[in-house]
């Protein structure tokens, strides 16, 4: 009876909820999905082209880089530019080492200060807790160019200009709001009952935090730390204003320094940029599952 | 005999052991109050030292005619700096530039980001790999992105012009022509941050419960109806958060301008952030730059308040 109402084939596929799409429109759908694939591929090419182009440039010989029209496929690759990046007198290499020190230390500081704070915010009822958390996050929204003016004057008085320590402090403060917010998200997911149970067993508050909750948080801490590392690794505004000395400046300013002159060695720039980007891409791959929480300071969870 | 039964000290010792096992004695001095103070205060101290204290300093300086280069002391001049910033035609022009940039870049990113996320969400195979590849631009440092594009948009040997040339369109001065420079800036920012909107939109799209579509399927709802009535309403709140986040960040854009155009040509790509930097580090009019900065902080704070309110409501609801 129902067969003349239902399109053919729907009834014998079981209940309607299990069928993906009514068969009538399947042709239309296939056509639509063809367009979708083409569109997606186009977007992908546009998005990845600059990265691929930079990689190609880093691998090209200098004469090929300036070839007109541009050589997309027909060039013989060379590693000369990468050799220059790691050469003994390369300004970029020093920048990389400084970046490792600064990004590494600031990540450690932000994590060591941030995780306990996040735990306290997660577990205790504190006075004006919400306001405190909002205040912490709002420091993250201030324009860096504005904050750098008083920090510059302050560091000049404390003779922290041109030092790695100064930059480490700034980056730690810069990463703290993020660390606290993201870690609070992770800690909220660990039931407080675990700690209460362990306190009944005779642990003190601190011990139950340290021995019960901490081990459960390690994946979250790792993800948060990687994000902090990426932020400090990529940061540019503070690094260029607080440090002018080539001995202590970080890689972003060192790379930016390569384009200062009248002629620019684009091969070296490309090779440095690619080298600089590799750790970030590796780290980003490691935390890909937490990306949503990470890029939104943990405020939005998937 | 009675001796062995009569042992009051033993029972009391037992009770004592039950009361407090030795482990609890360790760190017992850390009461909840002390612990929360101990855990939170170092973090807050660092934030106060490097965020609040500088901000107060900035506020103080904004009422003076202090200059970092002359360093001859300072005089209190009231709200003159604020009046000067607010009435300056240059600042008005920069504010307009920034507004155009924010609207253009964030608008474009939202449309593209959502479209890409929508397309990805309809794929079943290889979704993870595709998403990861799309995210690459966002993870790169703005400095690296700026350099990529400065090279690609170069008039003489930039690949973009090379392609245009071989297609017969002629060369375009992307970064040095008055009107195009801001447009190029929008393009580069869009390239870098479309993945951000895409990521959030994708999170929203994958979270839409399947049964809603199944129900609509039973009712023979059209694709458009499903999109308008199910997909979009459920993703919109999340998308709005992403938009606000991006708008706040785009408002304080500095690095891309610094690398790509240096504010040129003729100041057409100078954003407010870049203008503050010029006043502070080239003009060395620290007092004026402070007032300028304070005004920017006020704008960002208001925007952030809206953002946080919305976020809060969303998380509670």
CB-CB neighbors (< 8 A) of B171 in chain A: none
H or E element in which residue B103 lies: helix B89-121
Say what the pLDDT of residue A272 is. 94
| A150-160 pLDDT, tens digit each | 999 999 999 99
- Cα separation of A119 and A180, whole Å? 9
Mean pLDDT of A55-82: 83
In a domain, A13, yes or no: no
Chain B neighbors of A154, CB-CB under 8 A: 53-54, 57
Give A262→chain B minimum CA distance, Å. 14
The band of A14, judged by pLDDT with boundaries at 50, 70 and 90, is: very low
Contact between A293 and A227 (Cβ < 8 Å): no
Neighbours of B55 (CB within 10 A): 20
Burial of B177 (0-12, 13-18, 19+ CB in 10 A): middle
Query: Does the beta carbon of A230 lie under 8 angstroms from any beta carbon of chain B?
Result: yes
**pLDDT given at position A6:** 41
The verdict on a CB contact (< 8 Å) between B217 and A19 is yes
Query: Are A50 and A125 part of one and the same domain?
Result: no
Does a structural domain hold residue A16?
A: no
Q: What share of chain A is helix, strand, coil (3-state, %, to 5)?
A: 75, 0, 25
Q: How far is A88 from chain B (nearest CA, A)?
A: 22
* Residue B11 confidence (pLDDT): 46
Q: What confidence score (pLDDT) does residue A222 get? A: 95
Contact B163 A70 (CB under 8 A): yes
Kindly state whether A124 is in contact with chain B, defined as any CB-CB distance less than 8 angstroms. yes
By Cβ distance, the residue of A137, A141, A237 closest to B255 is A237
Residue A274, in any domain of the structure: yes
Q: What is the mean pLDDT of residues A114-125?
A: 94
Q: Does A117 touch chain B (CB under 8 A)?
A: yes
How close is the nearest chain A Cα to the Cα of B2, in Å? 36
ipTM for this model:
0.86
Cβ(B291)–Cβ(A150) below 8 Å: no
Chain A environment of B64 (Cβ under 8 Å): none
Residues A123 and A172 both lie in one domain: yes
CA distance A21 to A33: 13
Nearest residue to B82 via CA among B297, B284, B294: B294
What is residue B120's predicted lDDT score, i.e. its pLDDT?
Answer: 92
* Co-location of A169 and A235 in the same domain: yes
pLDDT, average across residues B131-139: 91
Q: Are A47 and A145 members of one domain?
A: no
* Confidence at residue B134, expressed as pLDDT on a 0 to 100 scale: 92
Query: Does B47 sit within 8 Å of A177, measured CB to CB?
Result: yes
Residues A289, A144, single domain; the answer is yes
d(CA B189, nearest CA chain A) in Å: 12
A123, A211: one domain: yes
**Confidence tier at A172 by pLDDT (50, 70, 90):** very high
Residues A126 and A260 grouped into a single domain? yes
Task: Please answer whether residues B278 and B294 qualify as being in contact, where contact means their C-beta atoms are separated by less than 8 angstroms.
Answer: no
Residue A19 banded pLDDT, cuts 50, 70, 90: very low
**Residue ending a domain, choose from A27, A48, A77:** A77
Q: What pLDDT score was predicted for residue A3?
A: 38
Q: What is the model's pLDDT at position A40?
A: 92
Model pLDDT for residues B181-232, shown as the tens digit of each residue: 999 999 999 999 999 999 999 989 988 888 888 888 888 888 888 889 888 8
Residue A54: give the domain boundaries: 36-77
Query: Is the model's pLDDT at A137 over the cut of 90?
Result: no
Task: Kindly list the residues from chain B whose CB atom is less than 8 angstroms away from the CB atom of residue A263.
Answer: none
CB B236 within 8 A of CB B151: no
A236 and A178 part of one domain: yes
Cross-chain Cβ contact A146/B50 below 8 Å: no
- The pLDDT score that the predictor gives to residue A12 is 41
- Least confident stretch, A39-48, A117-126, A248-257, B27-36: B27-36
A157 inside domain: yes
Chain A: give the shortest CA distance to residue B179, in Å.
23
Once rounded to an integer, what is the mean pLDDT over residues B89-102?
95
Region B255-264 average pLDDT: 90
Cα separation, B101 vs B92, whole angstroms = 14
A231, A178 contact by CB (below 8 A): yes
Q: Confirm or reject contact between A47 and chain B (CB < 8 A).
A: yes
CB contact (8 A) between residue B139 and residue A230: yes
Minimum CA–CA partner of B309 in chain A: A134
Tokens of B101: 């940039």
Please, what are the domains in chain B? 81-316 (1.10.3720.10)
Q: Is B220 in contact with A22 (Cβ distance < 8 A)?
A: yes
Q: Which long-range contacts (CB under 8 A, 24 or more apart) does B66-69 make?
A: B66/B286, B66/B287, B67/B284, B67/B285, B67/B286, B67/B287, B68/A152, B68/A153, B68/B280, B68/B284, B68/B286, B69/B284
Interface touch B259/A256, C-beta < 8 Å: yes
Least confident of B83-97, B123-137, B179-193: B123-137
Give the closest-approach CA distance of A17 to chain B in angstroms.
Answer: 5
E strands, B15-118, in order: none
Contact list, B120 vs chain A (CB under 8 Å): 40
Candidates A57, A126, A151; nearest CB to B36: A126
- Nearest-neighbour CA in chain A from B48: distance (Å): 9
Residues of A in contact with B308 (CB under 8 A): 134, 137-138
What is the C-alpha end-to-end distance of chain A, expressed in Å? 46
* Domain shared by A232 and A163, yes or no: yes
Non-local CB neighbours of B278 within 8 Å, separated by 6+ positions: B263, B270
Whose CA is closest to A299, among A126, A153, A213, A181? A181
- Can you spell out the DSSP letters for A203-251? --HHHHIIIIIHHHHHHHHHHHHHHHHHHHHH--HHHHHH---TTT--H
Nearest to B30 among A47, A205, A288 (CB): A205
Model confidence at A15, pLDDT cuts 50, 70, 90, reads: very low
Residues in A closer than 8 angstroms to B136, CB to CB, are 47-48, 51, 281
Q: Which residues lie closer than 8 Å to B84 by C-beta, 6 or more apart?
A: B288, B291
Q: What is the pLDDT of residues A219-266, one digit of tens each?
A: 999 999 999 999 999 999 999 999 989 899 999 999 998 887 778 889
Chain A contact set for B271 (CB, 8 A)? none
Q: Is A25 inside a domain boundary? A: no
What's the mean pLDDT in B62-71? 83
Q: Is residue A101 part of a domain?
A: yes
Mean pLDDT of all residues belonging to chain A:
85
**Percentage of chain B exceeding pLDDT 90:** 49
- The answer to whether residues A102 and A231 belong to one domain is yes
Number of domains comprising chain A: 2
Cβ of residue A75 closer than 8 Å to a chain B Cβ: no
Nearest CA in chain B to A202: B24
The secondary element (H helix, E strand) that includes residue B210 is helix B210-218
Residues in Cβ contact with B123 at an 8 Å cutoff, skipping those fewer than 6 apart: A36, A40, B130
Judging contacts by C-beta atoms under 8 Å, the chain A residues touching residue B32 are 124, 205
pLDDT of residue A214: 95
As a whole number, mean pLDDT of residues B35-50 equals: 93
Question: Does residue A109 lie within any of the structural domains?
Answer: yes
Residue A218's pLDDT is 95
Q: Answer with the one of A46, A77, A108 that is the final residue of a domain.
A: A77
Contact A273 B259 (CB under 8 A): no
For residue B292, list chain A residues with Cβ-Cβ distance below 8 A. Answer: 146
Distance CA A240, CA A254 (A): 9
CB contact under 8 A, B293 and A138: no
Rounded percentage of chain A residues whose pLDDT exceeds 90:
57
The partner residue sitting opposite A141, judged by closest CB among B39, B211, B300, is B300
Residues A56 and A185 in one domain: no
Q: What is the mean pLDDT of chain B?
A: 86
Contacts of B6 (CB under 8 A, 6+ apart): none
Domain boundary among A77, A110, A126: A77
Is A162 in the same domain as A264? yes
Q: Decide if A70 is inside a domain.
A: yes
């Amino acid at each position: 009876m129902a067969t003349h109402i239902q399109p053919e084939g729907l009834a014998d596929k079981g209940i309607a909820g299990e069928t993906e799409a009514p068969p009538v429109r399947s042709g239309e759908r296939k056509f639509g999905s063809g367009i979708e694939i083409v569109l997606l591929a186009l977007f992908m090419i546009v998005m990845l082209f600059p990265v691929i182009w930079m990689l190609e440039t880093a691998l090209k010989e200098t004469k090929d880089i300036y070839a007109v029209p541009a050589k997309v496929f027909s060039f013989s690759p060379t590693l000369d530019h990468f050799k220059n990046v790691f050469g003994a007198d390369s300004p970029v290499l020093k920048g990389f080492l400084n970046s490792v020190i600064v990004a590494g230390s600031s990540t450690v500081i932000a994590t060591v200060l941030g995780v306990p704070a996040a735990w306290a915010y997660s577990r205790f009822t504190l006075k004006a807790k919400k306001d405190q958390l909002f205040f912490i996050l709002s420091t993250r929204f201030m324009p860096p160019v504005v904050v750098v003016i008083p920090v510059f004057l302050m560091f000049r008085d404390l003779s922290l200009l041109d030092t790695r320590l100064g930059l480490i402090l700034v980056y730690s403060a810069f990463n703290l709001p993020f660390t606290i917010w993201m870690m609070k998200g992770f800690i909220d997911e660990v039931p407080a009952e675990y700690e209460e149970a362990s306190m009944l067993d005779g642990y003190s508050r601190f011990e139950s935090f340290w021995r019960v909750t901490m081990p459960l948080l390690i994946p979250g801490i790792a993800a948060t730390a990687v994000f902090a590392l990426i932020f400090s690794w990529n940061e540019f505004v503070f690094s260029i204003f607080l440090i002018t000395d080539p001995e202590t400046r970080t890689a972003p300013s060192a790379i930016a320094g390569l384009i200062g002159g009248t002629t620019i060695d684009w091969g070296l720039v490309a090779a440095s940029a690619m080298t600089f980007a590799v750790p970030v891409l590796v780290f980003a791959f490691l935390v890909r599952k937490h990306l949503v929480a990470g890029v939104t300071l943990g405020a939005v969870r998937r | 005999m009675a001796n062995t039964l009569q042992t009051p000290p033993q029972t009391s010792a037992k009770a004592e052991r039950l009361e407090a096992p030795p482990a609890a004695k360790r760190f017992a001095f850390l009461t909840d109050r002390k612990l929360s103070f101990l855990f939170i205060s170092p973090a807050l101290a660092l934030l106060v030292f490097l965020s609040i204290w500088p901000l107060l300093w900035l506020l103080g300086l904004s009422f003076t005619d202090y200059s970092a280069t002359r360093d001859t002391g300072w005089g209190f001049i009231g709200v003159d700096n604020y009046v000067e910033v607010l009435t300056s035609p240059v600042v008005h022009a920069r504010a307009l530039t920034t507004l155009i940039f924010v609207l253009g870049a964030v608008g474009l990113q939202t449309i593209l980001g959502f479209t890409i996320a929508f397309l990805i969400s309809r794929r079943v195979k290889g979704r993870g790999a595709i998403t990861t590849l799309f995210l690459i631009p966002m993870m790169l440092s703005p400095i690296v992105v700026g350099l990529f594009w400065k090279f690609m948009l170069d008039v003489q040997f930039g690949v973009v012009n090379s392609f245009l040339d071989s297609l017969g369109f002629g060369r375009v001065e992307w970064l040095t022509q008055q009107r195009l420079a801001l447009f190029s800036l929008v393009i580069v920012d869009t390239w870098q941050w479309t993945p951000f909107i895409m990521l959030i939109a994708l999170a929203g799209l994958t979270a839409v419960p399947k049964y809603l579509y199944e129900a609509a399927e039973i009712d023979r709802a059209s694709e458009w109806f499903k999109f308008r009535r199910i997909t979009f309403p459920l993703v919109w709140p999340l998308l709005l958060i992403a938009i606000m986040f991006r708008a706040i960040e785009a408002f304080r854009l500095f690095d891309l301008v610094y690398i790509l155009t240096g504010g040129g040509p003729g100041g057409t790509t100078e954003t407010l952030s870049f203008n503050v930097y010029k006043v502070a580090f080239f003009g060395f009019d620290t007092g004026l730059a402070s007032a300028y900065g304070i005004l920017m902080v006020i704008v960002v704070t208001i925007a952030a308040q809206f953002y946080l309110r919305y976020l809060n409501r969303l998380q509670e609801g």
